[in-house]
Amino acid sequence: MDKIEKLLRKISKQDRQRLLELIEKLIHRETKGLNIAKIKTTDFYRLRAGRFRIIFHYNQTEIIVDSIKQRDKKTYKQL
């Protein structure tokens, strides 16, 4: 089981549903109104969803979700 699955199992059903809806919008490139920003000095982007951060990058024609984390001091350190 990877870290994303583990986090999705631990969080509340409401948070899980909201995160999955945002990922679905991201995959279908419906980014209007989403809080997306490029992370400095990397090729990664983050999507802010309340206290959670969805870290992803573009790979030619597809979007790859690298991690979903709760925001803390170490959220962007390991990129």
Q: Is residue 76 part of a domain?
A: no
Along the 79 residues of the chain, how does pLDDT read in single tens digits?
A: 588 888 889 999 999 999 999 999 998 988 888 999 999 989 999 999 999 999 999 988 899 999 898 887 777 776 6
Q: Is residue 45 part of a domain?
A: yes
Q: Is residue 79 part of a domain?
A: no
The domain total for the chain is 1
CA distance 53 to 34: 12
Q: Is residue 22 part of a domain?
A: yes
Read off the CATH number of the domain in which 60 is found.
3.30.2310.20
Q: Is residue 63 part of a domain?
A: yes
CA distance 76 to 55: 9
CA distance 25 to 34: 9
Residue 8: domain span: 3-70
pTM of the shown model: 0.84
Q: Is residue 48 part of a domain?
A: yes
